[in-house]
Amino acid sequence: MSRRRQIYEGKAKILYEGPEPGTLIQYFKDDATAFNADKKGTINGKGVINNRISEYVFTRLAHIGIPTHFVRRLNMREQLVRQVEIVPIEVVLRNVAAGSICKRLGLTEGDPLPHTLIEYYYKDDALGDPLISEEHIACFNWASQEEMQDIASMAIRINDFLCGMFAAVDIRLVDFKLEFGRIYEGDFSRVILADEISPDGCRLWDMKTNDKMDKDRFRQDLGGEEEAYQEVARRLGILQNDDGGPGEVLDMSAHRGRLRGGTKGAAPKPKK
């Protein structure tokens, strides 16, 4: 097999040259980082689960008309995606107070916000991804006014849809991060959803117990990261249910996170 050319390696994924012009292969790693990579570790099988969850979410979003870079899943850890020019802005939507906003504004974790809040961060690890305003974005021409209107509109629609999707399986979508990219069609460009949507970039809490089901378990040394990620996938129907219904089970005990089909038994719930 010919060696693929690596285009980019980030904290959680590697991008390789795709099989056709304008495509990339997105590989999901088990690496876990926090606090701008000051804390590093591994969550066994995370890449496998994030690949499946992100595939599921992007497919559902495409059904409601959100344009995305996702083409199809190739295998346990890889997706075929459209190549985009990443807009250097991280878009964070907050529904409940948690994380950095509590430190910045003295809020209590878990307090509902008066309405969904959209924040923008300049995508630069060396600078710590600083919080920015729309004025910064316009001043430095990181995105045009029309692009920002499209980004904000899509972000709100995505938030509304995902809040309902997760609530249906008793998960509260506290906050999450989105990234967008440009694709060029002749002399014109448009922005589409890129990157991934998974427990790596979302805060997900059990609606009954408030147990954390995301990377905060790693950030805060809570333990049970593997079980939490697997439980999210199980509730979304990606993994086999308790009744042994159709689906696939992820072998989280293996570093390679291999899939095995037809095995009964559900994933354990997150540790409290």
| pLDDT tens track for 150-187 | 999 999 999 999 999 999 999 999 999 999 999 998 88
Q: Which residues of the chain have pLDDT under 50?
A: 1, 242-249, 251-272
What's the pLDDT score for residue 2?
A: 58
Domain with residue 177: its CATH number is 3.30.470.20
Would 258 be classed as within a structural domain? no
Domain range for 190 = 85-206
Query: Does residue 193 fall inside a structural domain?
Result: yes
Which pLDDT belongs to residue 39?
86
Residue 48 in any domain: the answer is: no
pLDDT at res. 252: 43
Strand partners, 181: 86, 192
Residue 239 is predicted with a pLDDT of 80
Query: Domain for residue 14, yes or no?
Result: no
Q: Is residue 163 part of a domain?
A: yes
The pLDDT mean for the chain works out to 89
Q: Is 103 inside a domain boundary?
A: yes
What would the pLDDT profile of 94-103 be if each residue is shown by its tens digit? 999 999 999 9
pLDDT of residue 244: 44
253's CB contacts (< 8 A; 6+ apart) are 44
Alpha-carbon torsion (219, 211, 238, 70), positive or negative: negative
At residue 271, the pLDDT reads 42
C-beta of residue 230 within 8 angstroms of C-beta of residue 267: yes
Q: How far apart are the first and last CA of the chain?
A: 45
Distance CA(229)–CA(33), nearest Å, equals: 15
Does residue 164 sit within a domain? yes
Q: What is the pLDDT of residue 26?
A: 98
Report the domain count for the chain. 1
Does any domain span residue 119? yes
- Amino acid, single-letter form, for residue 96: V
Angle at 194 between CA 204 and CA 149, to 5 degrees: 95
Tell me the one-letter amino acid at 200.
D
